[in-house]
Amino acid sequence: MAECPVVSTETGQVKGTVAHAKDLPDKPIYAYLAIPYAAPPVGDLRYRPPQPALPWEGVREAVEPGSYCPQNLEFLNSLDMAFKQGENMTMSEDCLTLSVFTPTVAVDAALPVLFWIHGGSLSMGMGAFPGLESLAAHQDVVVVSINYRLGVLGFLSTGDENMPGNYGFLDQVRAMVWVKDNIRNFGGDPERVTIFGESAGGVSVSYHLLSPLSKGLFQRAISQSGTWKSIPVNPQPLPLTKMLAEEAGCETEDTEILTACLKEKSSEELLEKVQSLQLKIGQVSFSPVVDGTFLTSQPMDLMQAGDVNTADYLLGVNNHEFGWLMLPFAIQGDPLAGISQEDFVRLTKAVASMVYRVSIDAIVAEYSLESDDPMAIQYQFSHLYGDLLFVSPTVMVADKHAGAGGRVFFYENQYRPSINAHRPDWVGCDHGDDIYMTLGMPFIDDHGSTNVTYSKTDEHVSLIMMAYWANFARTGDPSDSTGGPTDSSSLPTWPQYTPDNPVYMKLDVVPTTGTGLKLEKMKFWNEVIPKIASMQKDEL
């Protein structure tokens, strides 16, 4: 059995463990788990930008997944995913660590680096994902996966210098700096880093393309099912922060005293206060803010001005983002029962007013059906929700990025993994279904930890998606496998996307290209609706 080599980092030496993809037993992947990339953000360092990691003596055993950042794990694991997270781990504020999976630690290997940012609404999740060694093994890439501060500890803000916010994003930047400084010793190329993420991870990637702090720390970017518009900036964070402070028994008028008071509370108490506040006012979420450092202006203003990092960008959506996983939250009910026409109108107006601050009858008209079948109405509503929160923002960001001069590759994922066979037939490729494929989960050596069996077709699609993703990380073109371990000439060519020629890849058992994904609906969301919304606001 291969020994895991000791590697030097700028803060000390680490020794990891050896992992394998199940179909490549002779290819060891060296896994270095939970390496600190920043000082623990505790005590006075809570609600402050991350500080450099503290050095250690001797060789650090990097063999356990470490702690995950404070969050409501129960809710995360109640979701219908094929793997549970955080098992055999502890929750702690001392969670700013990353893990590295690499096929070699030769300093001259200069392999492309794929830097994974997990999803979970910026309020839950962790970097400890099953399958990352499979992606490293199959594609000869270095995979890095990180934790970052979440929710009340990661994105709370007073809107001023006492608690500017965006700490979770600043953690991600700090981890990228760590990669730049250290990844060469793990066989990676610090000048060939691709940041990629799903859902809130894809949202994060999209924000990094707008931040002056992230520039130069990565060369390419991938957003799976999420761009900044899916979790927009909160222009007025203070009222919610004051409500939370009041719930926690803190002073609310002076933000300096408020911040000092919240620093005194335990992370458990803060999580409890968020939950008690939710019972009073409904969903509580802490969002990105314009803090003047990570984000200097509203994202739309930055995009309109072309003030974006024009790194190569691969992005896309699944064809049924609200098919199952998040549907109960959207309809506030049982997806197996369907919804009535009255429910459809009420829910549509509610989501329209949430996103556009105005209620828009045009949306109801655009998506309403001449049907009384509760399941048909619900199916239509699930696509309305997906188009509003995922598809139209992703298309808009793709158009703006290409318009600013960046190379863009777009996809719609249509493959429904076999592990979701228990879901109703009407569910397509749902939110989160892409993770299994892009991270190589069908090739996990020990399925005991995930307790699911993948089909041969799942394996086939996973190989296709890993090849496209790693080719893009290597060359900036998902079809160009130059320097890669597998010949991708059998893969269908994935053309570049432009606003004038909006060609995209339909990812499936056999990938094919399409042009103008949901073109009429996209015009409706990205051109018609903003006009109606601004007219209605003018009348208010």
In eight-state DSSP terms, residue 51 is: P
Q: What are phi and psi of 457, to 5 degrees?
A: -65, -40
Among candidates 55, 281, 291, which has minimal Cα distance to 170?
291
In eight-state DSSP terms, residue 113 is: E
**Residue owning tokens 């609600």:** 47
Secondary structure, 3-state, 459-506: HHHHHHHHHHHHHHHHHCCCCCCCCCCCCCCCCCCCCCECCCCCEEEE
Among candidates 316, 320, 389, which has minimal Cα distance to 348?
389
Cβ(130)–Cβ(101) below 8 Å:
no
Cα separation of the two ends of the chain: 71
- The one catalytic residue in 121, 199, 382, 488 is 199
All residues at 6 or more sequence positions from 300 whose CB lies less than 8 Å from its CB, including other chains? none
- The one catalytic residue in 138, 208, 320, 431 is 431
Supply 540's token pair: 């208010």
Q: Which amino acid is at 1?
A: M
Cβ(147)–Cβ(36) below 8 Å:
no
Q: Is 20 a catalytic residue?
A: no
Instruction: Indicate if the alpha-carbon torsion angle 168, 174, 178, 179 is positive or negative.
Output: positive
How far is residue 314's CA from residue 504's CA, in Å, rounded to a whole number? 10
The partner residues of 497 in beta bridges, in order of sequence, read: 408
Q: Is 431 a catalytic residue?
A: yes
Supply 183's token pair: 């990844």
Q: Is 534 a catalytic residue?
A: no
Instruction: Indicate if the alpha-carbon torsion angle 429, 434, 440, 446 is positive or negative.
Output: negative
- The one catalytic residue in 321, 382, 462, 479 is 321
How far is residue 147's CA from residue 27's CA, in Å, rounded to a whole number? 27
How far is residue 299's CA from residue 46's CA, in Å, rounded to a whole number? 26
Supply 462's token pair: 């996973």
Among candidates 11, 15, 18, which has minimal Cα distance to 60?
15
Catalytic center residues: 199, 321, 431
